[in-house]
Amino acid sequence: MLTVRRVAPADTLRLDLVALRVDSVLVGGRATAFARDSARIRILIPADAGDSLTVVVRYDGAPADGLIIRTDARGRWVAFGDNFAQRARYWIPSIDDPSDKATVTWTVRAPSDRRVVANGELVEEIPLATPGGVARTLTRWRESRPIPTYTMVIAAAPLAYVDLGRSACGRSDFGGCVRQTVYVEPEAVDGLPGPFAQAPAIMDFYTSLVAPFPYERLAHLQSRTRFGGMENATAIFYADRSVRERTLRPTTVAHEMAHQWFGDAVTETRFADLWLSEGFATYFAALWIQHAEGDSAFRDEMARTRLEVLHSPVTAQRPVRDTMETDYLALLNTNSYQKGAWTLHMLRTLLGDSAFFRGVRGYYVAHRHRNARSEDLRDALERASGEPLGWFFDQWLTRPGYPEVTTRWRYDRGSHRVTLYVEQGSRFGPFRFPLTVEVEEAGGGRHRVTVPVAAERSQRVVLPIQLNAPPRTIVYDPDVALLATFTAR
């Protein structure tokens, strides 16, 4: 059953539902005419139906995708939802688009030896009368905040659980603390929490850095998903094998947890802005590394992801905000993840921690449980910093590539100054960015200065320091703060 609100004059409701047989449709409790093709149901809305409608779709069949039903390594059947990007429509009649978020209540009847976990909080588990048959249980979960269809899932499998306890006390939108639970196949329970050991501390970190946790609780599940991890709201699914073979990394846990704020609570309006989900999750996982392991581990992580971007054919050919790509799974690429994270990292460098995080919080709070576009992030960061950022967003999101910088320098004995000659390659054109250099004096002293580089092919920049002798070396971008290649001549 769907609760639908009519927001524009329309006499037809179109729901996405692939292949499954539709038996009947009721609107406001009355049987209603509908038309069916292989991907949609078109439902006639009676003239007197009002603008708030309950629509019941009775349908039937085995989903070809979306709800993945398989047997596990021990031959037991298991079922897991796996909807990204638009596969909810294979099993849930819905408006299967990230711009149309909804609350969801799941009622699942299943054999009692399968545990059912879904979005939100557990409402009830009721044993069903099954005289002489297999014991069955009705399980109900409810998510009271609107979430995108691509994160609406159930799990039904033999699952044991480990409680990770409560954390982020006083920083939950539901009051009190946030409870986290890990669900895994009974045979894998031994030795947990492993990669989940840091989850309570990650929850503490993100709730203080961003905002209170937006949902009722958080579950982590060993599952069948085609992805390494999938950030289903309140019910993160991890690839079965990574849990079984103990290869799941805490960084993946941090990434999926960051998505609860960015992607789930604030959802990209269009998949073309997927970086608002994946770039944030990637960068906030790196911020967790910085928090837990320190600055040098963080720099290593940013250097690693920078190399991935610099070697990426996708980044060389397409912009982060890729409005031409119609295969949304193809957007799970280095542009959305690594270059998206780097875009945030460069904004942080440009604006400073205080304005950057204030702007991110403002963006989150303004769009929580709704949708957002890149422009909304730009507006929030402009408000927080007082800086116009149109040039930055255009440069990093709507053009492929990154600066390819060639540098040389000259020391002038008369003025005691160093002049940098900066050239930018023609492949991606010139970019505008602040450039930090570390100048090592012949005597060993070090100076760190930041100079503005304009979006010009060739320019000279005089460093704002005076030296008694030519420098021994100049190191470009010593803090790993710029997505660029440097060649010294």
- For residues 168 and 403, give the distance between their C-alpha atoms in angstroms, rounded to a whole number: 41
Choices 271-279, 323-331, 347-355, 420-428; region in contact with Zn ion by CB under 5 A: 271-279
How many CA atoms does the CB half-sphere of 454 hold within 13 Å? 7
# residues contacting Zn ion (CB under 5 A): 2
Interface region with Zn ion, contact rule CB under 5 A, candidates 148-156, 244-252, 278-286, 358-366 = 278-286
Near Zn ion by CB under 5 A, which window of 60-68, 244-252, 270-278, 345-353?
270-278
Tokens at 66, concatenated: 């979306």
Q: Which residue is nearest to Zn ion (CB)?
A: 281
Q: Cα 201 to chain center, whole Å?
A: 19
**Cβ distance to Zn ion smaller for residue 301 or 382:** 301
* Residues 399-438, mask of contacts with Zn ion (x by CB under 5 A): ----------------------------------------
Q: 279 or 471: whose CB is closer to Zn ion?
A: 279
The Cα 101–Cα 446 span in angstroms is 53
Which is closer to Zn ion, CB of 277 or CB of 395?
Answer: 277
Q: Which is nearer to Zn ion, 333 or 385 (CB)?
A: 333
Residue 229 CB, shortest distance to Zn ion, in Å, is: 7
Least distance in angstroms from the C-beta of 373 to Zn ion: 19
Residue 329 C-beta: closest distance to Zn ion, Å: 13
Task: Answer yes or no: are the C-beta atoms of 255 and 285 closer than 8 Å.
Answer: yes
Minimum CB distance to Zn ion smaller for 167 or for 277? 277
Closer to Zn ion at the Cβ: 97 or 278?
Answer: 278
Question: Does 281 help bind Zn ion (rule: CB under 5 A)?
Answer: yes
Long-range contacts (CB closer than 8 Å, 24 or more residues apart) made by 461-466: 461/419, 461/420, 461/422, 461/435, 462/417, 462/418, 462/419, 462/420, 463/417, 463/418, 463/419, 463/420, 463/437, 463/439, 465/417, 465/418, 465/439, 466/415, 466/416, 466/417
Give the interface segment with Zn ion, choosing from 87-95, 281-289, 295-303, 321-329 (CB under 5 A): 281-289
Nearer to Zn ion, 278 or 322 (CB): 278
Return the ∠ at Cα 162 (arms to 158 and 168), rounded to 5°: 135
Listed ranges 90-98, 125-133, 275-283, 373-381: which one lies at the site for Zn ion (CB under 5 A): 275-283
Minimum distance between the CB of residue 152 and Zn ion, rounded to whole angstroms?
A: 17
CA dist 424 to 428, 458, 460, 462, Å?
9, 6, 12, 17
DSSP secondary structure letters along 423-467: EE-SSS----EEEEEEEEPTTS-EEEEEEEE-S-SEEEEE-S---
Site for Zn ion in 447-476 (CB under 5 A): none
Nearer to Zn ion, 82 or 185 (CB): 82
Min CB(259)–Zn ion separation in Å: 5
Closest approach, Cβ 140 to Zn ion, in A, equals 28
Q: What is the DSSP letter of 46?
A: P
Q: Which residue type, as a one-letter code, is found at position 433?
A: F
Closer CB to Zn ion, 4 or 258, in the complex: 258
Q: How far apart are CA 154 and CA 149, in angstroms?
A: 12
Mark 396-413 as b/e (b = at least 16 C-beta within 10 Å).
bbeebbbbbbebebeeee
User: Between 185 and 278, whose beta carbon lies closer to Zn ion?
Assistant: 278
CB of 303 to Zn ion, least distance (A): 21
CB of 278 to Zn ion, least distance (A): 5
Give the residue with the Cβ less far from Zn ion, 281 or 418: 281
With tokens 């090592």, the residue in question is: 440
Strand partners, 115: 157
User: Which positions from 66 through 125 interact with Zn ion, judged by CB under 5 A?
Assistant: none
**Cβ 192 to Zn ion shortest distance, Å:** 22
**Residue 60 Cα to chain centre, angstroms:** 32
In angstroms, give the least distance from the CB of 282 to Zn ion.
7
> Tokens representing 106?
């799941």
- 102 — phi, psi (to 5°)? -155, 155
- Residue 23 C-beta: closest distance to Zn ion, Å: 37
Query: Is the distance from CB of 377 to CB of 357 less than 8 angstroms?
Result: no
Q: Which is nearer to Zn ion, 240 or 278 (CB)?
A: 278
**Coil/strand/helix, residue 183:** strand
Whether residue 320 contacts residue 275, with contact meaning beta carbons closer than 8 Å, is answered with yes
Q: How far is the CB of 281 from Zn ion (least distance, A)?
A: 4
Q: Which residues bind Zn ion (CB under 5 A)?
A: 278, 281
